Structure 1
Amino acid sequence: MDDLPARLRRHFGRDADGAVVLSPDTSRPERKPALAAQYLRMSTDHQRYSLGNQRAFIAGFAESRGIEIVRTYEDAGRSGVTVDKRPGLQRLLSEVLSGKAPFSTILVFDVSRWGRFQDADEAAHYEFLCREAGLSVIYCAELFADDSFGSVFKQLKRVMAGEYSRDLSAKVRAGRRAKAARGRALGGGAVYGFRRQVVNADGSAGPILQEGQWKSRPDQEVRYIWGPPEELAVIQRIFEWFVHEARSQAGIARLLTQQGVMWRDGTPWNGDRVQKILRRELVVGFQAYGKSRVELGKRTIAVDRSQWTYVRVLEPIVDVDTFVAAQERMGALKRGHGKTEEEMVRELACLLARQRPTLEAIAKAENMASPTVYRSRFGSMKAAYERVGFRYTGYRRGLNPDGTPLDRDQTIEALRALHKQHGRISLKLIKASPGIPGDNRIRTIFGSIAEAYEAAGLPVGPRVGRRRAPK
């Protein structure tokens, strides 16, 4: 206590003699750096927001504050208007909510990189989930005060980030509408029968683009032109077969392949490719746009055809009546493929006019649906036959011209005629004669083959026995 000043002795009181004065401890405990994760996102924004620039800025921020970055989550080329299709942010939130995140801080370049959510509360919600799990979210380029003013300013920045996306989306839609109104292609590669040609800023025609090529300058546009004559001839044949011959899309594809006509890439045609040709308005010279509508951050909504906008861009190669007939027929087809019920009934009636419509004849007929399709469409072959006025019995032999089976008296006459023709009668001859009912049918009518012979007055051979009566 000798080094304690007398004035402090009096301040501390009488018992100050027992006080102990320690020298100040100048040593400081070593502080471990805070562990953090960084979230990076880039869509198609300005280069300022490239992943490399974000990573470099965040690294400098972390180093100046003694923070160690242990995890990186990133979404390259992803829109920020929704959490969907952003696997990086989804993994980050999943790890945070699991309670096992090996970091206590999340570093983000700015509010817009966290997201341009159309509802500012959604952005705040995800940040709140992190805070509730004990983690803080720091926007390195936009440090907000930890008070009411900072909260208000942060919310304002969230609203501004969402408004930026809405404004940009509206400008993009308006630009696309203006481009479509000028008859320009809105993207995608050329399809069968068409080619893409560059249109320069002054309206002059540029080069024709080959497969996989794209315009070279932002001020250029692209328009559709007709392809080579041989492809145009194929398109005309497709419409002819579909409308006037009532062929199915799959049948047309098979016919083209049989004729050696291949798709542009050398692969065979299929029903889907044929259907796309049949639905393309460009064949009558019009380009349609406004087929769908997408709300920012939401699912694309198909627009009714009556609300589409059409612009004439080419001279037609298919007449309008044929094109409209093709659309009406496709609308009548179930699931867009095959044949309509009316066409199937008409073709079955035509087959009946030429011959008896057996399953084998139906299966072999050209440009006719298979028996399986008939059963699927009508429920059974019997129902299909009845639609054309043919009485279906289930028996394939021993039938009258109208399809009804021979009765008892007719069967007796048929057996006598067979005996007269060959001078004998046998089960083998019966089976070889389609005009006579089968042996099972004869047994059903007469009880046995022997009893049928007796009813017809024919000799019964030694090998023709009687069927035993059931016990």
Structure 2
Amino acid sequence: MRVAIYARHSTDKQEHSTRDQIARCEAFCRRVGYEIAATFSDEGISGAAMQNRPGIRKLIEAALDGEFNRIISEDLSRISRDQGDLAHFYKKLLFLNINLETIAEGDVSELHIGLKGTMNALYLKDLADKTKRGMLAAVLNGSIPGGRTFGYDIVHRLNERGEPIPGLRKINPVEAEIVRTIFTRYDQGETLLRICEHLNDNGVAAPKGGTKWQKSALIGTFARQTGILRNTLYKGVLTFDKMAYRKHPETGKRVSMIRPEHDWIRVPAPELAILSEDQFDSVQRHIEERSNNFRQRRLIVQVMTGEEKAKRQRGYVRKWRARQKTANKVPEQPFYITSGKLWCSKHDAAFIHRRAKLNGCPHKGCPNQNLPLEYILPLVLEDVQKFSAGDLDAYYQENKSRRAFLESKLQSLISERSRVQSEIRALLETIVRSQRGPETLSHIQEREKESGRLKLDIEQAKSELENITAVPDADMKMIARRVQETINKWLASDLDSTKVLHDCVYKISIIPFWNDAEQSMQHRAKVAWDMPALIRAFSVAANKIAA
């Protein structure tokens, strides 16, 4: 007799694990002389449904393949506690002519399926009732069900037996102040969008690790009464058991369903109140009023005729045009010398904008992350003020060899172009004298293209040479003086000066370093000037800048 063993347990705390069940079934098979063909198990899975259990599915597949002709289990509850699933499973075994035997019941028949299936179903119902009673008792003893709620911290404490006490909470003062701000602003008539913008602009971290505050975090859903503005715990009343979970008869998956509001359980928790009851109730009235207004607007649109809708739309367009005529222009975004110029020296990468006035390196773990603009600007100012005529002289000295190379290259290009142009003139004279054919004309066209390329190379070399050709010392000092004057205007918040300096900066490297004296990570800025742009701005247009 070839048999298959099946074992299952729901939780790690259950008295008999699958290993114990399998060992007991193996001993039973040896005692009665069964040959074990295969062993199947499901660990940590409820017996309320069979669809989500891979072990039982593999058992059925093996049965269809005829690998065994009897199934051994500890008792019928290991197969399933659901009456319908158990009966359906037994029908399959009857069709395949496979017997089901358990150590507790022996050979299973229709009588066992009916009686034990009913007993197991009653056990599940009784277990659900006890679980609910246990949750209510825990709440009455001060435990809060569910995960962490914004505004509260989880308290880790042990009981007299050294076991952790679940569900203890205490008020988080920082988050509690944010909750009060949200309720106060909404009570004063601010929209959800404006409240979210206020929180994001002030760098307030969103709940549950989100990057930005969203309206759904504040208002939640009406049916489930979720969201910060609807959470009764903030007024000192814990509301739970809003949802009922039932097994779908077709898929076996657990489906959430909303209980009627009169079945919700409410328990006073005054020690966790963040708001007064009057303020909370006032906000709930405002939510209801706004919701009613929204529903009325939707209903009006549904019953309007086509002509009324067109008239309404024309009114919207007229109002929009009137606002465009009288509305003030949107103020320009602040412009800084650092805009688009910040660079991480450690990873050789451009800074990215994270949120309001916060910039940083895109690489995780870099000490150049999340640096406030108010912190960066003084570092940049310190390095900008070091600019002097010596920087210009150093720039010219660094490019001395490059200048010599360009001068030599320029002379060579000029000579080469003269030679090509002489060759073109000679070819033209040859055509006039001998009236040569198309080959000569094609040769002339190639020489003209070469002459054009040489002319372009000459212009590029002249332009680069002009940028690195040293100016007299007096001019360098004049340029340095005008740069300092522009820096002083920049400090006085002069927008034109800021733009001029911004155009003269190639990049601003932020260099992190460890300060042993203060035992902290600090930064310094190194401004890389775009010297050609700076020389053009402060020599050609110097009079305009200084004025």
TM-score range for the pair, normalised by the shorter chain length: 0.5 to 0.7
Counterpart amino acid of residue 169 in structure 2: Y
Match of 1:309 in 2: 265
1:379 Cα shift? 12
Q: 1:258 to 1:392 in 2, by over 3 A?
A: closer
Query: Which of residues 279, 283, 294 is equivalent to 1:322?
Result: 279
Q: Deviation at 1:302?
A: 1.6
Matches for 1:31-46 after TM superposition, within 5 Å: 34-44=1-11
CA distance in 1, matches of 2:325, 2:204: 46
Q: 1:192 is matched with which residue?
A: 150
Question: Could you state the TM-score of these two structures normalised by the residue count of structure 1?
Answer: 0.54
TM-score (norm 2): 0.47
Say which SS state the counterpart of residue 37 (structure 1) adopts. strand
**1:230 alignment partner in structure 2:** 174
CA contact (8 A) 1:169 1:296 kept: no
Name whichever structure is richer in helix by fraction.
2
Report the Cα offset of residue 122 of structure 1. Answer: 4.4
Query: Which residue in 1 is equivalent to 2:133?
Result: 174
Residue 100 of structure 1 corresponds to 65
Q: What's the counterpart of residue 269 of structure 1?
A: 212
- Partners of 1:38 and 1:51 in 2: CA distance: 11
Match of 1:126 in 2: 89
Q: Contact conserved, 1:254 with 1:269, CA < 8 A, in 2? A: no
What SS class does the counterpart of residue 222 from structure 1 fall into? coil
Q: In 2, distance between residues paired with 1:295 and 1:235?
A: 34
Amino acid at match of 1:115: S
Compute the displacement of 1:80 (Å).
1.4
CA contact (8 A) 2:7 2:40 kept: yes
Query: Match for residue 246 of structure 1?
Result: 190
1:286 is the counterpart of 2:237: yes
**Distance of aligned partners of 1:328 and 1:76 in 2 relative to their CA distance in 1, 3 Å threshold:** farther
Q: Secondary structure at the match of 1:49?
A: coil
1:386 CA displacement: 3.9
Q: Is the 8 A contact 1:225 1:314 kept in 2?
A: no
- In 2: Cα distance, 1:73 partner to 1:163 partner: 26
Deviations 1:413-446 (A, max 9, x none): xxxxxxxxxxxxxxxxxxxxxxxxxxxxxxxxxx
Identify which of 159, 165, 180 aligns with 2:118.
159
Which amino acid in 1 is paired with 2:230?
Answer: R
Distance 1:266 1:125 in 2: 45
Instruction: Say if 2:243 and 2:256, in contact at 8 Å, map to a contact too.
Output: yes
The aligned residue for residue 78 of structure 2 is: 113
- In structure 1, the gaps of 5 or more residues are 1-33, 203-214, 345-374, 402-471
CA distance in 1, matches of 2:245, 2:269: 25
Deviation at 1:265, TM superposition (A): 6.1
RMSD: 4.4
- Structure 2 residues without counterparts, runs of 5 or longer: 220-226, 249-253, 327-547
> Contact (CA 8 Å) 2:11, 2:43: kept in 1 or not?
no
Change (3 A) 1:45 1:173: farther
Residues 364-379 of structure 1: pairs in structure 2 closer than 5 A:
none
Q: Secondary structure at the match of 2:168?
A: strand
Distance 1:93 1:265 in 2: 42
CA distance in 1, matches of 2:177, 2:13: 47
Give the fraction of aligned pairs with identical amino acids, expressed as a percent: 23
When structure 1 is superposed on structure 2, of 103-112 and 281-290 the one drifting more is 103-112
> Does the CA contact (< 8 Å) of 2:148 and 2:154 recur in 1?
yes
Question: Which secondary structure state, in structure 2, belongs to the residue aligned with residue 239 of structure 1?
Answer: helix
State the alpha-carbon separation in 2 of the partners of residues 384 and 341 from structure 1.
21
Distance change (3 Å), C-alpha of 1:319 and 1:94: farther
Cα distance, 1:183–1:383 mapped onto 2, change above 3 Å: farther
Q: Residue in 1 aligned with 2:106?
A: 143
Q: Could you say what secondary structure the match of 2:52 adopts?
A: coil
